[in-house]
Amino acid sequence: MNQPLIVVWLAIVNGVMYTAQLFLGDRMLLQLALWPPGEHLLGSVGGRDVVAGFQPLQLLSYGFLHADFAHIALNLFGLVLFGPLLERCMGSGPFLFYYLFCLVSAGACQLLFGLGDGVGATIGASGAIYGLLVAAALLYPQNRLLLFPLPVSMQLRTLALLLGGVSLLHGVLGSQAGVAHFAHLGGMAGGWLLVQYWRGRLPIRPRRWLEP
């Protein structure tokens, strides 16, 4: 059985980037966080204005920055929980493509729909992790997950629908400000499309087929 090397490397890169944030702080956020279009004046340092704005590379780089330890720990937990299963199913190269595709689709959705939800710059791998959940739910819908510490288990399909519904509700109502709910939905939507494409369930037929 192939070892999930991409999962390991993604965890390492996220850890290295978080450690760098502890030392460099806001300087990393200015360049690598996902900023809405336009110029955003954040203050002044030494008489010079500090301005941030959108750059295409941010659609990838934002997913390797995190707000605090709890933020990165939760996302890495999701990566380790779903990543190995999916990497063994997809193969390492396609899995990496899938992860980054979900990251980009999450960021794009946040830029398109989430500008009024109280989020300034968007950071975090949550959109990609929600994409992993969708893939696991599509490929292994009957698998169950224990909702620790509750003595309750839930099918992956049900969990994906539940979390997607919660994100949609918060996003539409504008509640829980500061959380990029539309990024979660964008990661789920991008993941759903790519898995369905790879399974031959869209009008455009893929070159490779994905089966659990």
Grade residue 43 by pLDDT with cuts at 50, 70 and 90: low
Write the pLDDT tens digit of every residue in 133-156. Answer: 999 999 999 899 887 777 788 999
Residue 81 reports pLDDT greater than 90: yes
Its CATH architecture, for the domain 5-198, is Up-down Bundle (1.20)
Under a CB-based contact definition with an 8 Å cutoff, are residues 191 and 104 in contact? no
Q: How confident is the model at residue 209 (pLDDT cuts 50, 70, 90)?
A: confident
Instruction: Name, in order, each residue with C-beta under 8 angstroms of 71's C-beta and a sequence gap of 6 or more.
Output: 124
Spell out the domain ranges in the chain: 5-198
pTM tops 0.95, yes or no: no
Burial per residue of 146-156, b for 16 or more beta-carbon CB atoms within 10 angstroms, e otherwise: eeeeeeeeeeb
- Look at residue 118 in the predicted model and tell me its pLDDT: 53
Q: Residue 30 carries which side chain, given as an amino acid letter?
A: L
In this prediction, residue 208 carries a pLDDT of: 73
